[in-house]
Amino acid sequence: MKSILQSKEMSIVAIVVLLSITLSFVSPAFLTFENIFDILKGNAVLGILAVGMTLVIITGGIDVSVAAVTTAVCVMAGKFLTVLPDSPISILLLFIVAPLIGVLLGALNGILVSKIQIPAIVVTLGTMSMINGIILYLTNGTYLNSTSFPKIFVDFANFQIFGVSVIVFIFAIIAVGTWYILKYTVIGREVLAVGGNKESSIRAGINFDKVQIFVYGYMGLLAGIAAIAQLSYTKAVDPNGLLGFELQVIAAVVLGGANILGGRGSIMGTFLGVLLLGIMQNGLILARIDIFWQKVVVGTIILIAVSYDQIQYKRSKDKLAKIEVEA
Amino acid sequence: MKALSKESILGLIALGLIVVMSVLAPGFLSSQNITNMMFQIPEFGLIALGMMVVIVTGGINLSITYTAALAGVAIALMQSNGYPMLLSILVGIVVGLVCGYINGFIVSKIGVSSILVTLGTMVLFEGIVLSLTKGNSISGFSESYSLIGNGYYMGLVPLSIIIFILFAILTGVLLTKSKWGRSVYMVGSNPIATLFSGVNNSKILMGVYMYSALLASIAAIIMTSRYNMAKVDLGSSYLLQSVAAAVLGGTAIEGGYGKVMGTVYAVVIFQVLSSGLNLLEVPRSIVGVITGAILIFVLIINFAKAKFDEKKQKKMQEANAA
Amino acid sequence: MTEYLLQMNHISKTFPGVKALDNVMLEVKPGEVHALIGENGAGKSTLIKILAGIYAPDPGAEFYFEGKEAGIHKPIDATLKGISIIYQDLSLFPNLSVAENIYMGRESTSKSWKKIDWKKIEETAEKALKELDVQVDLNMPVEKLSIAQQQLIEIARALAFDAKLIVMDEPTSSLSAGEVEKLYKVINDLKRKGIAIIFVSHKLKELFTVSDRFTVLRDGKFVGTYETNDLDEDKLITLMVGRQVLYEKNQGIIKAGNTIFEVKGLSKEGNFRDISFELKQGEVLGITGLVGSGRTELAQAIFGVNRPFTGEIKINGETVKVRSSEDAVKKGIAYIPESRKTQGLILQQSIINNISLPVLKTLRNALGLINRKKETALADHYVETLDVRPALPKMEAGQLSGGNQQKVVIGKWLSTKPKILIIDEPTNGIDIGAKTEIHKLLRKLASEGMGVIVISSELPEVLAVSDRILVMRHGKIAGELSINEATQENIMNYALLGSKQTGVHRENPDLGEERGIPM
């Protein structure tokens, strides 16, 4: 397992390191403890979602409804928070309710993909458009801000451990936890097996439908948790705040070396992909480059990464010479 | 009796919907509403057709609306800097075609899957538009330019709908009657067998992405002219809607099938729904919900029908065998 | 208690329109290597799929394993009961490690959240590999291994499941000679452990080397089960085809014309090397050799879809460059690929659309649009002259039988009026009647002046259609035989040993070293 991913992940590490060195020359503010953790905090929502998306993409699927689901959970959980008392129980309740809503929405995608056999992109486009419409209808696009939340939540959102925001810890727990699931549980191995070779996995008795429902449900769960992170980060509910965010999530996963056709992908790679996007954004700001150029850079990097990957793949396939030709 | 085609059924649904809306929604048949609908259909319709052509090859074009935005911004920048209208339009179309060429090149020559390529170019084109416009909207079009999106032919039929009809016919003729169009369906059905039949697949795919971009650019001309401005989110709401319209119109998402008429009917259905519901004072947001619901519902029906046909066929064969 | 490990009786399987298996039986003893043999379409793979739990047999079947009702309903049931199937395309997970591949499937009945015990996985894998005496890095992803190594991983997986019966489906089809020998050793070890092996293969020589008994199927029916000692090749062939000689040997060319096609020094790394030959007008050139000897790669290079390569191609004495399949059509080269369903035809499109595809350019009217009338006429013409049944040009190509599909593909290429027609395994999976028809057609096309190259593994077929035969071996031309001197024996000698010398057949036990013989 390690050897193939290592090479791929190493190249992302190299890019991240190179970029960091360049940036620390451009701005001394870059390589500070505060700045690094700010980057992580700022990209925690992206990171949590990308971790979930990694699983979906490993199975060869895709979920473009993640941003909509996250926003839906934000809106509902936000509403829910406003009626909660100012007590620690509220935080606990939030951590029960938000993931639960996410799982339900995600499982809906999973069932449509696995049982009705609708292509994932179409299903999630459909649910995305429905969820976005419902959010817009219910909220009318209005913003909720921190004054409506119980004080305990604001405290929670500002909470730091050793000077590191609780949001970063949530991200870390999700990343490590998902890594553990992928590596050490039956279902995690089944996700990789299904992505590696569907036919073989059926022959090995793996329930393909179950694996699909799991990955979309898990994606939903993480969207629920990402919603908590988003609420904590912005201390507000913005029904339009994450519009189009799903593409950034997919971009991070793809940059992290996952293959859209399934089988390849790792949490470490995705983490690096998120980091790369985050550092780039941060760097452009530090270098005082017009924020608008950021997307040009990201788009170009995505195109180069996927093209390079494809060319490498073709080459390795050509090398597997089919015939021992006699000299 | 010959069974009705998928497209004809869709046409009947569209017709039925128009009848229902005329009864339910006050003012649906008013000339104002009809004109409104006719002004709105072209831009959405063109983008939906551009999306359909790509889906027929088994791909998807996520950068189609930003291609439109980039073409629109190019036209706006040219005109606001005093260049003549025709030259500006030409430059806009060329900019769109370059976008299509980039997609086509990476998909057909390098062989990257279209969803990844167009995801990348989507971010790239959006970035370029943002960098060009600094996030602002650009206006300053000539008066004659605004006629394209707002004018009438013979004082009755909006010009834009005529442009749309012309392009719909062109697309239909190209797809069904030209060598390129036939090959598009073949590549979508089985790229290897098509290649082994002496077809240059990469040329065909290049054509598809260029044509998709051309339709996006035409849509951009109509949109910028109608709104009298160009900005980054020009037509961006049409991205997912256009996929929905193509799929609702019967286009197979895995490629190989899709007809212009199906997509046109689907566009009409979406437009009638959206206008009708609007007149019924249903909030705009709910229209999005209905769009998504229809999309999934149609696919569930397709699935159920396929299962049913399979069973029927099996039964018939068993009966034959017995 | 029965002496048989596996007993399958009264096995029938009906598919829509075909009876793939008709009252077949298969009985396997512990510790024996049992060859399952038959022509393409004889029902071998259907029988294996029933054994594997992929297909359910028709009612009335008796299926016992270890004396008990087998109760196999899905693939994993078979594995867990001790029947491991090693498919030709293998059932591995390329992205997972060797160890995990060997272990995969054991947790299929466990709870999703059960913790994976990596130590146990490694121990299990290590033990299985040790039993096989194979050394590979347990953590290596399987995609980095050679096909032969991957196959050993599959065998190790079977051992890890305590398999009592291992089915090997064409296991040597992509192995080199040395690897085949290693496989035989492994098989012998397995036998010694009391594990039974069902060996499915087309290669007669190979089967005589490894098997204890044979079960022969023909046209979905059971022919018989025989001890290897009671059989020889001729007898076996008779049993398989039902008569002594399948086709009449071609009587040779009446009059050959000028050289219309020539290749000189064609080489492509890992594909073929220094290939030169010429083709005369009116001649059918057979190219044979073992699967994997580079025949298809050569044909696809000539057709412009396997590039780049070095060397020269001449048509009518003129050097041409074929850069793409489109180019090939322009230059008058037609190539009918081996896999009809994935490369030859677009199954979900109509017969018309398939036939006209390479010549759409010529069917255009003044406006550059396709003239539907002309197109239909073209399709009608070929449907009629080639006798495609049913003669419904609007029908989807996928709904035709194999033989009729092949006729559509041939029609498609005849429509391009090719100068050179290359046809790869022309009768693969086609019933005997249609085969003879296609052979006649190829002869006729040649006699009308087309240069025809037939690539085939079926020696009787090669002998039936060719005027001249090239034998390929390891990417090179090992020998050339005129139809008058060619026999199955001397072709085989070229294919296996690279020389024409005779007397190396059954008497020579070392033959197992070489790749088997395709039939």
C116·A183 Cβ contact <8 A = yes
- Of residues C162, C160, C170, C172, the one with CA closest to residue C101: C160
A1·C109 Cβ contact <8 A = no
User: pLDDT value at position C84?
Assistant: 94
Mean pLDDT, rounded, for C325-333: 94
Residue B224: count of CB within 10 angstroms of its CB? 35
Q: Within this chain, do residues B290 and B212 fall inside the same structural domain, yes or no?
A: no
Are the C-beta atoms of residues B137 and B14 closer than 8 Å to each other? no
- Split at pLDDT 50, 70, 90, the class of B286 is confident
Please write the tens of the pLDDT for every residue from C6-37: 999 999 998 776 788 999 999 999 999 999 98
User: pLDDT value at position C305?
Assistant: 92
Domain residue limits at B306: 285-322
Are the C-beta atoms of residues C108 and A204 closer than 8 Å to each other? yes
Residue bearing the bigger pLDDT, A278 or B320: A278
Q: Within this chain, do residues B158 and B212 fall inside the same structural domain, yes or no?
A: yes
**Helix, strand, coil shares, percent, chain B, to 5:** 75, 0, 20
Question: Rounded to 10 degrees, what is the CA torsion of B67, B73, B75, B76?
Answer: 160
User: pLDDT value at position C507?
Assistant: 36
Count interface pairs A-C at CB distance under 8 A.
Answer: 126
Please write the tens of the pLDDT for every residue from C445-464: 998 889 999 999 888 889 99
Segment among B57-66, B151-160, C59-68 with least mean pLDDT: B151-160
Q: In this complex, which chains have at least 3 CB pairs below 8 Å with chain C?
A: A, B
B292·A128 Cβ contact <8 A = yes
User: pLDDT value at position B319?
Assistant: 62
Domain boundaries, chain C: 6-241, 259-513
Question: Which residues from B are below 8 Å from A290, CB to CB?
Answer: 131, 134
Q: Within this chain, do residues B293 and B240 fall inside the same structural domain, yes or no?
A: no
Q: How much of chain C, in percent, has pLDDT values that exceed 70?
A: 92
- pLDDT score of B308 more than 60: yes
- Which residues are registered as beta bridge partners of C68? C65
A185 touches chain C (CB under 8 A): yes
Mean pLDDT, rounded, for C112-131: 91
Label the pairing between strands C420-424 and C451-455: parallel
Euclidean distance between the first and the last CA atom of chain A, given in angstroms as a whole number: 35
- Closest CA–CA distance from residue C415 to any residue of chain B (Å): 11
Are the C-beta atoms of residues C238 and C39 closer than 8 Å to each other? no
In a domain, B293, yes or no: yes
C374 touches chain B (CB under 8 A): no
Are the C-beta atoms of residues C356 and C381 closer than 8 Å to each other? no
- pLDDT score of C486 more than 80: yes
User: pLDDT value at position B320?
Assistant: 57
Fold of the C259-513 domain:
Rossmann fold (3.40.50)
Radius of gyration from C-alpha coordinates of chain B:
21
C55 touches chain A (CB under 8 A): no
Which of C12, C323, C338, C357 has the most B C-beta neighbours within 10 Å, making it the best mutation to test the interface with B? C357
- pLDDT score of B212 more than 60: yes
- pLDDT score of B151 more than 70: yes
Residues composing chain C: 519
- Split at pLDDT 50, 70, 90, the class of C510 is very low
- Of residues C101, C62, C55, the one with CA closest to residue C78: C55
Are the C-beta atoms of residues C515 and C175 closer than 8 Å to each other? yes
| Edge-to-edge strand list for the sheet holding C165-169 | C68-69, C62-65, C6-15, C18-28, C221-227, C213-218, C33-37, C196-200, C165-169, C83-86
Q: Where are the beta strands (DSSP E) in C389-496?
A: 420-424, 451-455, 468-473, 476-482
Q: Looking at this predicted complex, what is its ipTM?
A: 0.87
Q: Within this chain, do residues B227 and B309 fall inside the same structural domain, yes or no?
A: no
Range B176-182, long-range pairs (CB < 8 A, 24+ positions): B177/C369, B177/C370, B178/C368, B178/C369, B178/C370, B179/C360, B179/C361, B179/C364, B179/C368, B179/C370, B180/B204, B180/B207, B182/C353, B182/C356, B182/C357, B182/C360, B182/C370
Mean pLDDT, rounded, for C184-196: 92
- Of residues B244, B122, B11, the one with CA closest to residue A118: B244
- Closest CA–CA distance from residue B200 to any residue of chain C (Å): 6
Q: What is the DSSP string of B231-262?
A: -TTTTTTHHHHHHHHHHHTT--TTSS---HHH
Q: In this complex, which chains have at least 3 CB pairs below 8 Å with chain A?
A: B, C
Q: In this complex, which chains have at least 3 CB pairs below 8 Å with chain B?
A: A, C
C13 phi/psi in degrees, rounded to 5: -145, 120
Same fold, C6-241 and C259-513: yes
- pLDDT score of B1 more than 50: no
A183 touches chain B (CB under 8 A): no
Please write the tens of the pLDDT for every residue from B175-203: 999 999 999 999 999 999 999 999 999 99
Segment among B67-76, B175-184, C136-145 with least mean pLDDT: C136-145
Nearest Cβ partner of A206 from C87, C108, C144?
C108
In a domain, B317, yes or no: yes
C343·B178 Cβ contact <8 A = no
Please write the tens of the pLDDT for every residue from B247-265: 889 898 889 999 999 999 9
Q: Within this chain, do residues B49 and B105 fall inside the same structural domain, yes or no?
A: yes
User: pLDDT value at position A33?
Assistant: 86
User: pLDDT value at position B50?
Assistant: 98
User: pLDDT value at position A13?
Assistant: 87
- Closest CA–CA distance from residue A156 to any residue of chain B (Å): 33
Are the C-beta atoms of residues C41 and C429 closer than 8 Å to each other? yes
Kindly state the greatest CA–CA separation across chain C. Answer: 81
Question: Which residues from B are below 8 Å from A240, CB to CB?
Answer: none
Nearest Cβ partner of B200 from C324, C337, C416?
C324
Q: Within this chain, do residues B263 and B299 fall inside the same structural domain, yes or no?
A: no
- pLDDT score of C239 more than 90: no
Tell me: domain C6-241, CATH 3.40.50.2000, correct? no
In a domain, B1, yes or no: no
- What b-and-e string marks burial along C483-509, b requiring 16 or more CB atoms within 10 Å of the CB? beebebebbbbbbbbbeeeeebeeeee
Count of domains forming chain B: 2
- Closest CA–CA distance from residue A31 to any residue of chain B (Å): 27
Q: Within this chain, do residues B272 and B123 fall inside the same structural domain, yes or no?
A: yes
Rounded CA separation A5/A265 (Å)? 8
Residue B64: count of CB within 10 angstroms of its CB? 35
* Residues of C (316-345) whose Cβ lies below 8 Å from A: none
User: pLDDT value at position B317?
Assistant: 60
Q: Within this chain, do residues B309 and B271 fall inside the same structural domain, yes or no?
A: no
C358·B197 Cβ contact <8 A = yes
- pLDDT score of B237 more than 80: yes
Tell me which residue has tokens 């003669």: C391
Residue A172 CB burial class (10 angstroms; 0-12, 13-18, ≥19): middle
In a domain, B61, yes or no: yes
- Closest CA–CA distance from residue C267 to any residue of chain A (Å): 10
Rounded CA separation C97/C81 (Å)? 25
Residue bearing the bigger pLDDT, B258 or C403: B258
Which of C112, C275, C515 has the most A C-beta neighbours within 10 Å, making it the best mutation to test the interface with A? C112
In a domain, B113, yes or no: yes
Segment among B183-197, C171-185, C400-414 with least mean pLDDT: C171-185
Element (H, E) at C19: strand C18-28
Residues in chain A with pLDDT values less than 70: 1-7, 319-327
Are the C-beta atoms of residues A66 and A223 closer than 8 Å to each other? yes
In a domain, B235, yes or no: yes
Average pLDDT, chain B: 90
User: pLDDT value at position A142?
Assistant: 79
Q: Within this chain, do residues B172 and B313 fall inside the same structural domain, yes or no?
A: no
Residue C374: count of CB within 10 angstroms of its CB? 15
Are the C-beta atoms of residues C151 and C183 closer than 8 Å to each other? yes
Mean pLDDT comparison of A266-280, C129-143, C236-250, highest-scoring range: A266-280
Nearest Cβ partner of C349 from B186, B196, B314?
B186
* Residues of B (139-198) whose Cβ lies below 8 Å from C: 173, 177-179, 182-183, 185-186, 189-190, 192-198
Residue bearing the bigger pLDDT, C519 or B207: B207
User: pLDDT value at position C243?
Assistant: 56
Radius of gyration from C-alpha coordinates of chain C:
25
Mean pLDDT, rounded, for B224-235: 90
B285·A296 Cβ contact <8 A = no
- Of residues A295, A285, A223, the one with CA closest to residue A71: A223
Rounded CA separation B67/B122 (Å)? 8
Q: How much of chain B, in percent, has pLDDT values that exceed 90?
A: 64
In a domain, B82, yes or no: yes
A121·B115 Cβ contact <8 A = yes
Q: Within this chain, do residues B233 and B144 fall inside the same structural domain, yes or no?
A: yes
- Split at pLDDT 50, 70, 90, the class of C519 is very low
Residue bearing the bigger pLDDT, B214 or A5: B214
Chain centroid to Cα A21, Å, comes to 26
A322·C476 Cβ contact <8 A = no
**How far is the CA of A219 from the CAs of A40, A127, A228, C306, in angstroms?**
20, 14, 14, 42
C100 touches chain A (CB under 8 A): yes
